[in-house]
Structure 1
């Protein structure tokens, strides 16, 4: 058997002395020597021995065998007792792809490129204090708001980014008030949510009071303990950590604990401190952490931070962090790793959480739109960062364009067409295709190809390692299986 194999038909009737059944579409790959992960087209998986897998494919399974019953209940085969199997599989498939009809829900407004931090791993290089050059204008913002409400999605999230978003606080206020006013004019108002990405270093009581009044959630950066955070995120005064922690406490007091979240980025300096970083998040009373690698865009490449470590080093860091989080849960600490949660929801439920980097077809445009400070519109935040490298491949247009023109952009349509992983070479045979997704911006940035050369893709290397690791942990430990199931259902 080759590394990946797929069976993509169910009209093949298999008959033997043990009865007959039809195969439903599935794929498989070796997990351990002699054991295989078998997945169906909606991500449900089973573990089969090589011998059981061969008998299953060749029609040799007895209907009384446990493997047979599991394969039938999880829609890998259908027989006279499960004539509804294909219809149930189709319903689950429709559920998984229903988000495509909802269109774009996340709209990112880059209010300014100005920032008083000088983080060397940042994808967007810090700019000067010239507001005229690096701040979005009211006119551009109003045009962007009009485009936001053209989206057919019933739920819209407006996220403010920078630079440091609160350095253009007057425009943030204008957008919030205008968006709320426009929403009230709709026959059926949308579910409208606001999020402000901020380092919290310049936030004031006035800003937080406005956020509290209009239910604006806060997303900040916390890279770990004080020494590590301040090394990763330098600013005048060398007090980034102190300002972040003080800002988190003040924001929680005014907005509520659940209204404040944090993200970390793994630098080379972070690699030895997986447990310490998790401990910092536990100490600050967060419910979980997203263990993120560096992104290969913009300023992070110019400063050589992206190439400071390879994917193998980050995966070792990730495994250490995840294993430690599992142990914390065994010790009674309710804490989760959010990337694992996202993947597990695709593995263990019939719904797709809509995480842009793990969508098929790609989440660019469909999952998010970025209205840049200069009025240009990009298909994703990563596409905006790619433009910082003077590659405007994924610029859809500007705020002066019509909604229809933006979404009939040739690059956008081609990227969607080529990123449907069910039909992409190597992805189509991969047992993990339904858990994964497509990231044409990443692969274009790395290889100048929407699909990418999979054997050389860090995106594939990282995800395949994590997929196998999650399965191995669940199969080896009933506690982990129960824990991961809870994570999947709460994602």
Structure 2
């Protein structure tokens, strides 16, 4: 039977004509009495247990108020909605159209040198000579050529480290080389650049170059001064001051919205979620992305990753999210970006393309990374894993052809196994249309690209957040309006 082929139920009043046909859907418990029911396009509805049973058994009457809602959202079809399967198929195709564009994000590790010594560093930063840990011009030029081979019409080159600005000469060379090569294409790409930097070594020359070429800045801000400096130490104990000063200088030269910031949750952060949000508000950011530690690099060697569990992080997340909602209720426009990303998938027909919430997995297809030594990995996390002597997700090197890199057997296996429609347990989960796969995380944790879902912290975190977002919307009309706004402006 086709996935879109309806299941017909006959009316108890007539054995000749079907009352309605079920379109494909999954259901998962929300709480003790209600289920989240989703269709293939990610549209959802809440049904109480008894009503769900009657729907499945063919016992709903067209006169019931819920009937029209179920029909409008493509959970069932009848003689008045014969086009429902085709419309559902169009919505599914629209949500997945990004897959045809292939890789849009290309990350260049310019150097692994860094002036910070963050104990949770996930990239195993180095501080030795640049000949060993800087990307060469030859490798960079080959990476640019591979980047522009991507069929995606919109390309973003992101400079990573270490500290990206410690190899500023190469950064300039890549920008100028990529722009010149792009202009020679028959169909030039929409080419954009972004630098991941702690801003501690950023000079006026560097920022002026970024302004001239419209290069965005992404930095790190873990919270108030004492917390940031504890998490991100550097000689002089002035990491926070340099970051705040750098943000102000970037805004002065590049514009107010040219800089974004990310935080990482450590054990010291768990009781300070509201203070961290306040810091982002004070620094003039329009939102915050609350993220846990990842099991790579120094975060494992220093045992930072195991300093707290998923439940503790979710308590931190819930408290901080509720505080963000309260700030909005008081009139301050501020959002939590991870929630906004999920809500976009829940409440609209578009997919924001967040790598960790894609099916099949976003590694390789959404982003690829060129390491400082010329090796190519399927994601940033893949090269972090490689620094721990596990090169499972290595695609090849910059000397390889575009075709060779993207027909790598491990990459194709990961794409195949992380297609959630067919992954064990995912295929039956109501949250599947909003979720994704993280094969690198599961490989690191369980030596399995798909992962054992009952033991997966990835699943535990996301399912809790999905349920929490729905419950907040259902219990408070203001939150529903706020979340709808976030979804449509993500």
Question: Is the TM-score greater than 0.5?
Answer: yes
1:164–1:199 Cα contact (<8 Å) kept:
yes
Tell me the distance in 2 between the aligned counterparts of 1:227 and 1:69. Answer: 56
Structure 2 Cα separation of the partners of residues 55 and 107 of structure 1 = 50
Counterpart residue number, 1:438: 437
TM (norm. structure 1) is 0.98
Moved more, 360-369 or 56-65: 56-65
Contact 2:420 2:427 in 1 (8 A): yes
Instruction: Give the corresponding residue for 1:386.
Output: 385
Look up the match of 2:322.
323
Q: Give the structure 2 partner of residue 3 of structure 1.
A: none
Using a 3 Å threshold, how does the CA distance of structure 1 residues 246 and 403 change in structure 2: closer, same or farther? Answer: same
For 1:13, which of 8, 16, 21 is the aligned residue? 8
Instruction: Quote the offset at 1:9 in angstroms.
Output: 6.1
Aligned partners of 1:166, 1:179: CA distance in 2, in Å? 18
Report if aligned partners of 1:8, 1:26 keep a CA contact under 8 Å in 2.
Answer: no
The yes-or-no answer on 1:71 pairing with 2:87 is no
**Which residue does 2:281 correspond to in 1?**
282
In the alignment, structure 1 residue 240 sits paired with structure 2 residue 235: no
Aligned to 1:265: 264
Could you say what secondary structure the match of 2:428 adopts? coil
Question: 1:11: Cα distance to partner?
Answer: 3.1
**Aligned match of 1:474:** 473
Q: Distance in 1 between matches of 2:6 and 2:94?
A: 23
Q: Contact 1:368–1:380 (CA<8 Å) still a contact in 2?
A: yes
Aligned-partner SS, 2:179: helix
- Residue 117 of structure 2 aligns to a residue whose secondary structure is coil
Partners of 1:417 and 1:115 lie apart in 2 by 37
Equivalent residue runs for 1:99-110 within 5 Å: 99-110=98-109
Equivalent in the alignment of 2:409:
410
Q: Aligned equivalents of 1:367 and 1:70: distance in 2?
A: 35
1:420 match: 419
Query: What is the alpha-carbon distance in structure 1 between the residues aligned to residue 449 and residue 3 of structure 2?
Result: 24
Equivalent pair of 2:6/2:24 in contact (CA under 8 Å): no
- SS at the partner of 2:47? strand
Q: CA deviation at 1:126?
A: 2.4
- Partner residue, 1:365: 364
**Preserved CA contact (<8 Å) 1:9 1:23:** no
Check if 1:201 corresponds to 2:192.
no
3-state SS of paired residue (1:201): coil
CA RMSD between the two structures: 1.0
Matches within 5 A, 1:104-119: 104-119=103-118
Residue equivalent to 2:36: 37
- The CA deviation string for residues 331-356 of structure 1, in whole angstroms up to 9 with x for no partner, is 00000000001111111111111111
CA distance 1:146–1:415, change in 2 (3 Å): same
Q: Is the 8 A contact 2:115 2:127 kept in 1?
A: no
Does the CA-based 8 Å contact 1:10-1:22 persist in structure 2? no
Structure 1 residue 30, shift from structure 2 partner: 1.4
Match in the other structure for 1:374: 373
Q: How far 1:128 moved relative to its partner?
A: 2.6
Matched, 1:229 2:223: no
Give the SS at the match of 2:376: strand
SS in 1 for 2:271: helix
Find the counterpart in structure 1 of residue 398 from structure 2: 399
How far residue 271 of structure 1 moved from its aligned partner, in angstroms, is 0.4
- Aligned length in residues: 485
Distance 1:300 1:49 in 2: 43
Q: 2:328–2:334: 8 Å Cα contact kept in structure 1? A: yes
Q: 2:123·2:162 contact (CA, 8 Å) conserved in 1? A: yes
Name the counterpart of 1:149: 148
The superposition leaves residues 374-417 of structure 1 with CA deviations (integer Å, 9 ceiling, x where unpaired) of 00000000001001110000000000000000001000000000
Equivalent position SS for 1:257: coil
Contact 1:342-1:355 at 8 Å conserved across structures: yes
The corresponding residue for 2:290 is 291
Q: Distance in 1 between matches of 2:55 and 2:95?
A: 26
- Contact 2:111–2:162, Cα closer than 8 Å, also in 1: yes
Secondary structure of 2:120's aligned partner: coil
Task: Confirm or deny that 1:23 pairs with 2:22.
Answer: yes
| Matching of residues 144-183 of structure 1 within 5 Å | 144-183=143-182
| 1:342 counterpart residue number | 341
Greater shift after overlay, 133-142 or 10-19?
Answer: 10-19
Q: Any gaps of 5 or more consecutive residues in structure 1?
A: 1-6
**Greater than 2 Å deviation, 4+ residue runs:** 7-11
Q: Does 1:251 align with 2:246?
A: no
Between the aligned partners of 1:163 and 1:321, the Cα distance in structure 2 is 29
The CA deviation at 1:463 is 0.4
